[in-house]
Amino acid sequence: MNDRKKHLTDFLQFTTAHLGQVESQRLCRVVEGFVDDAENSFEALSDGIASDDGQQRGLWVLILVDWKAREEIAWQLNECLSAFGSSERWERDCESEFTDVPLSLFAVSEWLAKKGYALLHLETDSDYYCCFISKATDAAHIADLARAAELTLYDHASFHFR
């Protein structure tokens, strides 16, 4: 296994551990299948996760939204919360309450922080956003894993101010 594939797998195993070993390993295998043809680690991750064999309803990992698709945030976030084992639900209407996706995600980040979670954002180098939930206490370790996997990760403050 090449270094990029190994580090991306390490990152994905840690960030999907809450899904259980079987689902975490399945997602890792799916993403590994995209590494060799991808330009970079993020492309392999997002293409794998968004593929037909990638994340499944009830076991959602990444929130992937177009730059103007505020209406997509709530249901994807709630899927991630369910997969994380949380009974909490995001009840706000991002489309009517916020003027754009970054402001919506910033509000989500603040809401999650009050509950001990972090919303971590991955650089997409495109016109869509990608983020995921972690325990706030795991954010520093996830940042280290992301760097090793050649992923650019933003926490709440750096996402807001970039």
Q: What percent of the chain has pLDDT over 90?
A: 93
Q: What percent of the chain has pLDDT over 70?
A: 98
Q: What is the DSSP string of 92-144?
A: --HHHH-SSHHHHHHHHHHHHHTTTEEEEEE--SSSEEEEEEEEGGGHHHHHH
Is pLDDT above 90 for 160? no
Structure tokens at 63: 């929130």
- Beta strand 153-154 with 117-122: parallel, antiparallel or unpaired? antiparallel
* 7-30 per-position pLDDT tens digit: 999 999 999 999 999 999 999 999
Taking all residues of the chain, what is their mean pLDDT, rounded to a whole number? Answer: 95
* 64-94 per-position pLDDT tens digit: 999 999 999 999 999 999 999 999 999 999 9
Mean pLDDT, rounded, for 47-73: 96
Mean pLDDT, rounded, for 134-154: 97
The pLDDT of residue 73 is 97
* 134-143 per-position pLDDT tens digit: 999 999 999 9
The pLDDT of residue 10 is 98
The pLDDT of residue 162 is 47
The pLDDT of residue 149 is 98
